[in-house]
Amino acid sequence: MRKITQDVLGGPETLRLVTADVPAPGPTEILVETRAIGVNPADWKTRTTGGFLGSPPFTVGWELSGVVAATGLGVTRFAVGDEVFGIPWFPREGAAYAEYVTGPARHFTSKPPTMSFEEAAGLALAGLTALQALVETAAVLPDQRVLIPAAAGGVGHLAVQLAKLRGAYVIGTASAAKHDLVRSLGADEVLDHHTEDYSALKDIDVAIATVAGQIPQLAACLRPEGLIVALNTEDLQPVTDVEGVLIMVEPDRAGLDVLSAHALEGELRVLVDQVFPLAEAAAAHEMGEAGHTTGKLILVP
């Protein structure tokens, strides 16, 4: 099979396409022939710093969709030929930038037949992040005011939709050109983060810190009992100084089932900005790091 690897930490140029043996699934694991791979900030942060993987060589990537090619001992959830999506092993090495990937069967769920592989690949990690932040951590209630910066981004555009499904009043931030899009996802208000100071808001119940360094602005927006949910490890220290919590997404079959059900009902859609061949992973990283993506970037083998 082909996969992306790197031997040193550094820029996108460190990503190399190589050939390797197809891995075999262990007990309780499945082997997935990947059809699409989601590209996320965790990927390029790990490429640069090593993250939780340490020193290379390693293969980045955790978010994928595909077809079950083999099952390990004891697997009952899936059979060969099933279409699935998930985030295997996160934050350990998931090695998703590859034509075949193994992972625990319960780190995956069935792909909705209404979704393309590209859409499903973009839903798993970003969608679980939004779900675990809004529903499981903040327990957003109807009519609460939820602030979502970068509301057109990978996590942001899914968080807007999930917050609306909870009955929240959603305020998003985005560049002016993306305001109509964010409103179409369900946002009640959209602010231009280039020209409007959203820290002037004073009545926010829940704020999602989608980008590192936002904590001071978001803290100024909160009601007395409000909560900030931070998604970036860079915010670990600042978030302890306000009413907030840092979360890290966890592989969760039940959460994936919720996302799948919403997508199947047409209540949740994934915006795919651009699709790159696997061999052009470096170009996808360059685009993602520029910070102007609408929705998700996807690799296809």
Express each pLDDT in 67-122 by its tens digit: 999 999 999 999 999 999 999 999 999 999 999 999 999 999 999 999 999 999 99
Residue 212, Cβ density class (10 Å: 0-12 exposed, 13-18 middle, ≥19 buried): middle
**2-124+250-300: what fold?**
Quinone Oxidoreductase; Chain A, domain 1 (3.90.180)
140-182 tens-digit pLDDT? 999 999 999 999 999 999 999 999 999 999 999 999 999 999 9
- The pLDDT value given to residue 240: 66
Q: Is the pLDDT of residue 292 over 90?
A: no
- The pLDDT value given to residue 160: 98
**Pseudo-torsion of CA 115, 87, 139, 294, nearest 10°?**
-60
The one-character DSSP state at 262 is H
Q: Is the pLDDT of residue 198 over 80?
A: no
State percent of the chain over pLDDT 70: 99
**Pseudo-torsion of CA 228, 234, 237, 240, nearest 10°?**
10
- The pLDDT value given to residue 36: 98
Mean pLDDT of 117-139: 97
267-283 tens-digit pLDDT? 999 999 999 999 999 99
What is the CATH code of the structural domain delimited by 128-246? 3.40.50.720
Write down the domain spans for the chain: 2-124+250-300, 128-246
Cβ neighbours around 215 below 10 Å, total? 22
Q: What is the band of 211 on the pLDDT scale with cuts at 50, 70, 90?
A: confident
Q: Is the pLDDT of residue 197 over 80?
A: no
- The pLDDT value given to residue 226: 93
247-263 tens-digit pLDDT? 999 999 999 999 999 99
